[in-house]
Structure formats: structure tokens, C-alpha cells
Amino acid sequence: MGSVLNVIKIGGNVIDDETQLQDFLEKFAALQGKKILVHGGGKVATRVANGLGIEAKMIDGRRVTDAAMLDIVTMVYAGLTNKKVVSLLQRFGCDALGLSGADGNTIKAVKRPVREIDYGYVGDILVDSVNSLSVKKFLEAGYTPVFSAITHNGIGQLLNTNADTIASALAVSLSKIYDTSLIYCFEKNGVLRDVTDEHSVIPTIKANEFDELKAAGVIYEGMIPKLENAFHAIGKGVKNVYIGHALNLHMYQQGGFGTCLLAK
């Protein structure tokens, strides 16, 4: 196995808060070794759409991306947000390279099939979606790739794609080349035994313990799919997955960051 790689995903809540974003990016820039950042979109796309008289539609927390909204999310995610993140990382001495999945043909996706709901131009990731050799070229050249949540289908169509899924797909694909860890940064200190107590972080969860914690009702609702995706990534070659507070990222390489998910 080659050198160590950390794939880090940052959620929209931090993207929306300029002070927190700068704090997080300064900590990210200070991380040693090869790293990739994947960012979500935050609320800016909805604000821009409203300003242009375009209705932002959400179903079960997922954005419906019609042709007009695809233009908006591409401009905001791959443009404004991505370049804002990249410019701040340059300020903190990290030579970042802002990318969508179309750049360097790095991430292809397929348009989500219409079943009960038509989500529009939303991309689903396949097993062979990530061009790991293309991403490797950027990493080996000394750049830090910063991916927005925009992919392409290989024949000219851009697609809005879930950032958590992109981060997981990148980590799985690159785990064949690097000793890869996946880190989800959000607004909680980790997976909590008691959601009302930020100090009740569960330090490690193994795959068999996950089922027990679900059955006991400790892990529920939105955390279930997040952890299912994490354990799927571990099963596909990712060394481990961490979930923790974005502003505690500086603790990651020192130990004591959030919850560590392990195969066994």
C-alpha cells in the first residue's frame, strides 16, 4: 500500500458560516500528508434561486434539480462556494485545486432513474464512477483536490450529486492506491450516546456494535444512513471512518477526534 490519504467531507452548516468555515479550513490546511476535501452546497443555492424567482423544491430533505436549478447549483457549488474554499486554503498555505467531477474526468455518475419521484438532474455514483488515476495525478503533483458536489455523465450532462456519497466513492476508489481514511465533519462532536449531551461521544463503533446501537435506539434517523455508508466504505477497503465536529479537526492526527468506525 502507498502513502496515507485522508478524504474529508465538510457539511453545509459550516459552509454557511464564514467564521466557522475559515476556522475549519485553517485546521484542514494544517493536516500533514495527502488529503482531499469534499464540500456540500449549503443554503446559498436556495438563496440565489429565490432571488431569481426560481422555486427550490425539496422532498424528504433531498433537492429536486430541474434544468433551472441545475444551472444554479452548478454556479454556486462548483463556482462561488468552491472558489471561496480554494482561495481561503491558498491563504492558509494549502495549494488547493478546485474541481467538479467533470474536471479531469474524475467522477462520472448516472442520472437517477425516475421511480416514485423524479429528482431531475441528480447523479447516482456507480462502482467505477471515480477515475482514481486522474485524481492520483493531482495528488502526486502536490495539489490538494477540493471537490464540489457536481459530477458529469461522460456525454456532456452535469449532475447534482450528494457530497457524502462523493466522499465515500473517492475514499473507496483511492483505497486501492493509498492507505485511506474517510472523515465526515459536521456540527456534532461525534456519534453521541445521548443526543442531548455533546460529551457522550462513543469513541469507537465496530460493525457488529452498530446493529446493537440501532436496536437500542441510540443511533436513529439521519445517523443511520450516514453510518451505513461509512461501514460500506470500510467493507470496500477504506481503513477507517471518523465522524466528528468540524472545528475539532486539529485533534484528528493527535488522536481523540470524534467517533472512529472500524470493521472489527
Q: In 3D, which of 175, 169, 179 has the Cα closest to residue 128? A: 169
**pLDDT of 41:** 85
Q: Name residues of the chain where pLDDT drops below 50.
A: none
**Phi, psi dihedral angles at 64 (to 5 degrees):** -85, 125
**pLDDT of 100:** 98
Q: What is the dihedral of CA 44, 68, 8, 18, to 10 degrees?
A: -10
- Give yes or no for a contact between 26 and 89, defined as CB atoms under 8 angstroms apart: no
**pLDDT of 45:** 92
Q: In 3D, which of 239, 229, 165, 228 has the Cα closest to residue 5? A: 239
- Count of beta carbons in the 10 Å neighbourhood of residue 33: 11
Would you give the DSSP letter of residue 108?
B
Q: Is 160 annotated as a binding residue?
A: yes
- Cell of residue 197, nine digits: 449531551
Quick one: residue 47, left, alpha or beta (phi over 0 = left, psi -120 to 50 = alpha)? alpha
- Count of beta carbons in the 10 Å neighbourhood of residue 205: 23
- Cell of residue 56, nine digits: 427550490
Would you give the DSSP letter of residue 162?
-
Q: In 3D, which of 240, 70, 221 has the Cα closest to residue 158? A: 70
Q: What confidence tens digit (pLDDT) does each residue in 238-251 have?
A: 999 999 999 999 99
Q: Is 63 annotated as a binding residue?
A: yes
- Give yes or no for a contact between 16 and 44, defined as CB atoms under 8 angstroms apart: yes
Q: Is 93 annotated as a binding residue?
A: no
**pLDDT of 95:** 98
Rounded-to-integer distance, Cα 63 and Cα 238, Å: 28
**Phi, psi dihedral angles at 101 (to 5 degrees):** -65, -20
> How far is CA 113 from each of CA 98, 119, 120, 156, 158, rounded to the nearest angstrom?
29, 8, 9, 18, 15
**pLDDT of 1:** 55
**Taking the model in full, what pTM does it have?**
0.95
Structural domains of the chain, with CATH:
4-262 (3.40.1160.10)
- Cell of residue 132, nine digits: 482514481
Q: In 3D, which of 167, 153, 168, 173 has the Cα closest to residue 231? A: 168
